[in-house]
Amino acid sequence: MSLATAPRLLAALALAIALSACSARYQTPVAMGGDDDDAVCQSRGYAAGSPEYVACRKDRDVQRSAATARADRRQRDLGEYMLNHPERP
């Protein structure tokens, strides 16, 4: 590597580190579709404030929490697999 390319490499590395800070770990999983819970529950015919509407919102919250827990578990399992099997890339 020549001395002329070292500053560019360092700049690229600094940019990559800065951009990685923009990512958020606890974003809504793709499985939920990023739908608006209020709009979804009202589109099912539930009036805001009714027991059915409240149950719909709770169900969607439980589904979102379960999807996040599954994603966390898969990430943890992958990390453990990589630690236990260093010979496999």
- Are 32 and 67 in contact by the 8 Å Cβ rule? The answer is yes
Q: Is 16 inside a domain boundary?
A: yes
Q: Is 89 inside a domain boundary?
A: no
Q: Please count the structural domains in the chain.
A: 1
Distance from the first to the final alpha carbon of the chain:
27
Dist CA 45 CA 43 (whole Å):
5
Q: Is 55 inside a domain boundary?
A: yes
pLDDT in tens, 26-79: 555 544 555 799 999 999 999 999 999 999 999 999 999 999 999 999 999 999
Q: Which of 9-13, 30-34, 51-55, 85-89 has the lowest mean pLDDT?
A: 30-34
* Domain carrying residue 56: 4-84
Q: Is 36 left (phi over 0), alpha (psi -120 to 50) or beta?
A: beta
The model's pTM is 0.55
Confidence at residue 27, expressed as pLDDT on a 0 to 100 scale:
58
